[in-house]
């Protein structure tokens, strides 16, 4: 009798994400086991309980999913789980705290696609400003873009110290080159976007971060991506279904293109679905983080890379 597929869903928060549970079930897992309030020091034991209770064939039908909101903690949990495994008792682990890794991978890849196909440009060398840059999606977006060769600034709307501390912490951890900045007022925002190629808005849903007046300050804007699907949208003039739509309020950047939340979300949804399917029964265990998610998103948008 074939073993049923099981996904153990580990989350340090009080509740597991219904979004992730729905996605995992739709990806084909037979059984989902949510765990909440999980501590880092519990990961080693939980992993070994999951792997030593099944035969090598059953192991291939077993996976771990790591949620939460803290990117650093999610990566620590992924690494702790990996260290707990013993050949041939190895299973795949997928970390996606707050959906940040898949959302960020989708956001950056969507922008990259517009740059290449409509503007004849590349992400590498572009200047990027991320509003809401100290939240999970903003941080993950910044790391991905920085490692891809962009010059990235994370903003915080309350504290320059928070932005600088976040940039410093993740630069040290992932060898990227993030900068930090304050975006408390329209004048702050106008100054930040004046000579920026790409704007990413990953701020709180239902809050307009950049209005039409501020967007006029952009002199070389190429792409503006907004993950906020709740009106008012984060960037005025970028609507949910926009996918390379001219950004009419960026009057001093006439080639600027907008990408809306549903266009980004469609890629994120497909990406998370495909990654969950990859966890289900691979020949060799996979350890999926933001780097793997970005690589997969690029393959989905541009096709496999030929070496």
Q: What is the pLDDT of residue 177?
A: 98
Distance of alpha carbon 307 from alpha carbon 172, whole angstroms: 30
Mean pLDDT of the chain: 95
Fold match, 6-99+267-302 / 104-262:
yes
Could you report the per-residue pLDDT of 220-254, keeping only the tens digit for each? 999 999 999 999 999 999 999 999 999 999 999 99
* Token code pair at residue 176: 């990227």
Weakest mean pLDDT among 3-12, 51-60, 200-209:
51-60
Yes or no: is domain 6-99+267-302 CATH 3.10.310.50?
A: no
3-state secondary structure of 85: coil
The pLDDT of 4-16, averaged and rounded, is 96
Counted residue by residue, the chain has a size of 307
State the DSSP code for 251: T
| Cα–Cα separations (whole angstroms), residue 257 to 110, 115, 234, 236 | 11, 9, 15, 12
Contacts of 41 (CB under 8 A, 6+ apart): none
The pLDDT of 71-77, averaged and rounded, is 97
pLDDT reading at 194 higher than 60: yes
User: Max alpha carbon distance in the chain (Å)?
Assistant: 66
pLDDT reading at 307 higher than 90: no
Q: Which residues pair with 152 in a beta bridge?
A: 128
pTM reported for the whole predicted model: 0.96
The pLDDT of 99-123, averaged and rounded, is 97
At which residue do the structure tokens 């976007």 appear? Answer: 193
State the DSSP code for 288: E
* Token code pair at residue 221: 């804007």
Enumerate the domain spans of the chain: 6-99+267-302, 104-262
> HSE on the CB side for 212, CA within 13 Å?
6
Contacts of 136 (CB under 8 A, 6+ apart): 69, 70, 71, 97, 98, 100
Percentage of residues of the chain with pLDDT beyond 90: 92
At which residue do the structure tokens 């803290």 appear? Answer: 70
At which residue do the structure tokens 């196909």 appear? Answer: 117
Give yes or no for a contact between 249 and 236, defined as CB atoms under 8 angstroms apart.
yes
Q: Which residues pair with 65 in a beta bridge?
A: 9, 94
What does DSSP say about strands 257-259 and 243-246: parallel, antiparallel, or unpaired? antiparallel
Yes or no: is domain 104-262 CATH 3.40.50.920?
A: no
Q: How confident is the model at residue 1 (pLDDT cuts 50, 70, 90)?
A: low
Contacts of 238 (CB under 8 A, 6+ apart): 201, 224, 225, 226, 245, 247, 258, 259, 260
Closest to 143 (Cα-Cα) out of 179, 178, 110: 178
Q: What is the pLDDT of residue 306?
A: 44
pLDDT reading at 63 higher than 60: yes
Could you report the per-residue pLDDT of 134-186, keeping only the tens digit for each? 999 999 999 999 999 999 999 999 999 999 999 999 999 999 999 999 999 99
């Amino acid at each position: 009798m074939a073993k049923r597929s099981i996904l153990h869903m580990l989350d340090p928060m009080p509740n597991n994400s219904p979004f992730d549970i729905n996605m995992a079930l739709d990806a084909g897992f037979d059984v989902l086991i949510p765990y909440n309030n999980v501590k880092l020091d519990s990961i080693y034991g939980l992993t070994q309980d999951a792997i030593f209770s099944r035969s090598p064939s059953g192991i291939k039908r077993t996976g771990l999913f790591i949620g939460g909101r803290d990117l650093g903690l999610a990566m620590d949990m992924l690494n702790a789980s990996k260290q707990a495994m013993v050949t041939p008792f190895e299973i795949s682990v997928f970390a996606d705290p707050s959906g940040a890794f898949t959302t960020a991978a989708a956001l950056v890849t969507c922008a990259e696609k517009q740059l290449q196909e409509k503007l004849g440009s590349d992400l590498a060398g572009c200047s990027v400003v991320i509003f809401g840059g100290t939240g999970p999606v903003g941080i993950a977006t910044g790391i991905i873009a920085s490692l891809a060769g962009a010059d990235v600034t994370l903003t915080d709307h309350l504290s320059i110290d928070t932005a600088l501390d976040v940039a410093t912490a993740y630069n040290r951890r992932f060898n990227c080159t993030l900068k930090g900045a304050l975006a408390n007022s329209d004048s702050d925002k106008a100054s930040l976007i004046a000579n920026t190629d790409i704007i990413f808005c990953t701020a709180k849903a239902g809050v307009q971060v950049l209005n039409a007046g501020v967007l006029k300050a952009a002199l070389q804007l190429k792409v503006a991506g907004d993950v906020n699907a709740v009106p008012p949208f984060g960037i005025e003039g970028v609507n949910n279904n926009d996918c390379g739509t001219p950004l009419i309020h960026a009057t001093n950047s006439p080639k600027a293109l907008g990408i809306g939340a549903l266009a980004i979300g469609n890629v994120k949804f497909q990406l998370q679905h495909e990654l969950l399917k990859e966890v289900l029964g691979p020949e060799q265990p996979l350890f999926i983080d933001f780097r793997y998610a970005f690589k997969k998103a690029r393959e989905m948008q541009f096709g496999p890379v030929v070496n």
